[in-house]
Amino acid sequence: MPGQGISTRCLLATPTAIAEAAERLRAGALVAFPTETVYGLGADGLNPAAVARIYEAKGRPSNNPLILHVPDLESARQLVSHWPPEAQALAEQFWPGPLTLVLPAAPEVPEIVRAGNPTVALRCPSHPVALALLKAVGRPLAAPSANRSTEISPTLAAHVIAGLAGRIELVLDGGATSAGLESTIVQLALRPFKVLRPGPLSPSALEAVLGPLERWEGQVQPGALQSAPGMSERHYAPRTPLRLVMRENLQQALEACPGACGVLLGEALTLPDSIVQCVLPEEPDQVGTALYALLHELDAAGHRAILFQEPPVGDAWWAVRDRLRRAAAGTGGSR
Ligand code: TXA
Ligand code: MG
């Protein structure tokens, strides 16, 4: 994809670079920055023209709302028309961290951030660079993941550059992100409260504070107004076809598909040397941390297909399974 002719600079996230980034953001620029989940593509969240540039740079459908990032709980409260006790309890317990709360929006939240919804998604990230940047800007930052729409989210500055060079002004390089999957999103604007997107923070941790929560696992039709998160099936997709295969069927599937590589959980299979296999630990948080970087790498390596061992069902693997299922659907590899 050709860029838009903007010269993109990548700076190590030093205090000087963060101060420069804050200044650029206040002037309407697009700046990618690390969070503990994935890199975000930031713009001044109260400047509709700057926010419009996010949609353009990503090629993001205009009906998919953005998350506003804030440095603390007090800043979040100023962006909602109602702050329920459940929001207070979750924010006190889990912010800063990989949790996004969907709440009724205050009138000053621009319509373009909300994609016309009456609600706004809010998150206080824990990455020190993200927090320092938010404090220096002094305004909320609208920030989706810093990838082209439907592609894999970035966990390294190099992934951001590969996808968005020529389309954004600056990338702050803070190394690899730690959690690796996008934040857990909880809808607290209407009852019943619901987990809209699984993420690094498990539903059971939220339920320990709020009591039982619904889990949204449906699909949104492309083009439909997305009152649930922008979860059209084609999302998080590598270019290489990806298929989920039960472990007991993997050997046969790999032997039947020359040029494919296997991704195993726990232990390698005994296979001919010609078949490439990557082995991940059978531990969901570690797989979450490594997943996107591995998919970026396998995509670049030009395999014919990626055959991924199907992870176990259940809350612990929900976030990883969700991303893999979408990756499979996006490449036509879903079962
Ligand atoms: O970890 C994260 O959340 C990362 C980092 C950069 O903070 N951000 C991120 O943003 O994943 P994005 O735009 O890739 O995903 C935001 C999700 C979308 O699925 C969107 O539909 C949903 O949040 N969302 C935003 N506002 C919403 C709202 N008012 N109601 C329901 N869902 C909303
Ligand atoms: Mg995204």
Read off the amino acid at residue 128: P
Alpha-carbon span 165 to 265, nearest angstrom: 34
What's the 144 CA to ligand 1 centre distance in angstroms?
A: 6
The residue length of the chain stands at 335
| 182 in contact with ligand 1, CB cutoff 6 A | yes
How much is the pLDDT for 220? 45
Give the DSSP letter of residue 119: E
How much is the pLDDT for 312? 95
Percent helix, percent strand, percent coil in the chain, to nearest 5:
35, 20, 50
| 154 in contact with ligand 1, CB cutoff 6 A | no
Alpha-carbon span 308 to 290, nearest angstrom: 14
| 120 in contact with ligand 1, CB cutoff 6 A | yes
Secondary structure element (H or E) that encloses residue 163, with its range: helix 157-164
179-234 pLDDT, tens digit each: 999 999 999 999 999 999 999 999 999 999 999 999 987 654 444 444 444 555 56
| Global confidence as pTM | 0.95
Residues of the chain with pLDDT under 70: 1-3, 218-235, 331-335
Give the DSSP letter of residue 7: P
Strand order in the sheet with 99-104: 9-12, 170-173, 31-33, 40-44, 141-142, 67-69, 119-123, 99-104, 184-187, 194-197, 214-215
Task: Quote the tokens at residue 44.
Answer: 């001044």
What's the 144 CA to ligand 2 centre distance in angstroms?
A: 6
How much is the pLDDT for 334? 43
Residue pair 177/57 in contact (Cβ under 8 Å)? The answer is no
218-230 pLDDT, tens digit each: 654 444 444 444 5
How much is the pLDDT for 263? 98
| 331 in contact with ligand 1, CB cutoff 6 A | no
| 143 in contact with ligand 1, CB cutoff 6 A | yes
